[in-house]
Structure 1
């Protein structure tokens, strides 16, 4: 159950980040509650506020304090250059704290049908391929190797199983095994 709870929280927070506009005045917590309900997350305004405060410690988010209710938006420093929309995946791929690994990592994984639907809307890479299986889909994509990939994989919980590369599969297995062991004590 803890994996399901963590996965639900990460999925909700990912959806929340996707709802934020790229500039001020931003969108209010109350409006974000309704937007999240539209995409399947029934949460309170307080939960949204807590999520925004936590996420602002990791991502370049700003709260517009000029008027009440406050509006949340992506920081202008996250845009690189002025654009109409902020692309979270582009931001994560371009994180200066994450070292570049040449042409990328060839990822192969099993993904659930629900995750495959989400990936069709927001692909991991330009060369991403999804192949239908009897249960789920096979995902193949060239992705940047780093903490964001691991964060994404772990955040999907049981909806993804890394098949290749073997080193990443072993690392994810070790992380999940160690986490599960902590719940058994």
Structure 2
């Protein structure tokens, strides 16, 4: 088995070859040093020149001697096909693999799996000698809300759903509704697949209705692709749908929120505002918060999560809903203590 030093040298020289242009005037040794250092290979100009001279004995490389500094490039009409991936490509693949897996059809994943595997293997083998290859050990993405386990989705369900979405066919399904605790049989027009936190949602309409709904993928009990084409797909704009805050759940209409918030909460929302027009007004105690937000379930969950650090003032209907929910929760805690 090649040593770690040998693997690092081969990887560096392969990256060097990938950086060479296909025509004159070429690229200078100094420029190559900067590019390889960006790719995580600490190397001197002298070592680059030595590599180029050695590689030119094997590969059709040419040096442009017409001007100083000299430029290196591939020879004219050279057949250039360097298989493999660079360290930056390997890092990109490793970083996006987990995120794209639920969103890509299985047919595409089968094509990408060897590249995902190659990326992980390349980074592992080079981690001892290349700082860039150790980047994954230094970065992470962590959800801001409470960490919960992702629901299990059978491969057959996900593959059938992706097939219908890709081929633009309707779906017949059995779907479990958590709100009604019932399983319903539906004919769906699949429009989009969205990953929201730990849960994947199929965005679809349920025939014969035209309103767009969200269906949690893990709640499908049975799926079958129909031979009929999806209806309403040409009129659906995914980006416009996302901008509407529909994935916040509930009513997407905007409301003018006004609330009293504590000084601690004010410091936090000042860094991460609720909206572009959010205002914070300093009071004798605490702050007055004003912002235009979607009238959604997500808003209510956030308001309730702030406890005694926030009091809704406007709209009055929202204030009443928050007061009733908190009053009922306090009553249940008191009853539990007395039991």
TM range (shorter): 0.5 to 0.7
For residues 176 and 92 of structure 1, what CA distance do their matches in structure 2 show?
Answer: 29
For residues 96 and 179 of structure 1, what CA distance do their matches in structure 2 show?
Answer: 23
Aligned residue in 2 for 1:12: none
TM-score when normalising by structure 1: 0.54
Please provide the CA RMSD for this pair.
Answer: 3.7
Is residue 2:252 matched to residue 1:100? yes
Higher Rg? 2
Give 5+ residue unaligned stretches, structure 1: 1-21, 37-47, 63-79, 82-89
For residues 304 and 244 of structure 2, what CA distance do their matches in structure 1 show?
Answer: 16
Structure with more strand by fraction: 2
For residues 244 and 298 of structure 2, what CA distance do their matches in structure 1 show?
Answer: 7
Aligned residue in 1 for 2:148: 53
SS of equivalent residue, structure 1 residue 144:
strand
SS of equivalent residue, structure 2 residue 320:
helix
Aligned residue in 1 for 2:287: 137
Aligned residues: 122
Contact 1:106 1:142 in 2 (8 A): yes
After superposition, residues 74-89 of structure 1 pair within 5 angstroms as none
For residues 121 and 160 of structure 1, what CA distance do their matches in structure 2 show?
Answer: 17
Deviations 1:99-137 (Å, cap 9, x if unpaired)? 321xx1011000011111111111101110000111110
Larger relative contact order (Cα-Cα within 8 Å, sequence gap ≥ 6): 1
TM-score when normalising by structure 2: 0.31
Give 5+ residue unaligned stretches, structure 2: 1-94, 100-135, 152-194, 200-237
Is residue 2:271 matched to residue 1:121? yes
Deviations 1:60-79 (Å, cap 9, x if unpaired)? 338xxxxxxxxxxxxxxxxx
Contact 1:131 1:139 in 2 (8 A): yes
Is residue 2:96 matched to residue 1:23? yes
1:91/1:158 CA distance change after superposition, 3 Å:
farther
For residues 99 and 156 of structure 1, what CA distance do their matches in structure 2 show?
Answer: 21
Deviation at 1:91, TM superposition (A): 8.7
Deviation at 1:146, TM superposition (A): 1.4
Is residue 2:313 matched to residue 1:163? yes
For residues 108 and 176 of structure 1, what CA distance do their matches in structure 2 show?
Answer: 18
For residues 92 and 152 of structure 1, what CA distance do their matches in structure 2 show?
Answer: 19
SS of equivalent residue, structure 1 residue 100:
strand
SS of equivalent residue, structure 2 residue 288:
strand
Contact 2:260 2:313 in 1 (8 A): yes
Deviation at 1:92, TM superposition (A): 10
Contact 1:92 1:148 in 2 (8 A): no
Deviation at 1:25, TM superposition (A): 5.4
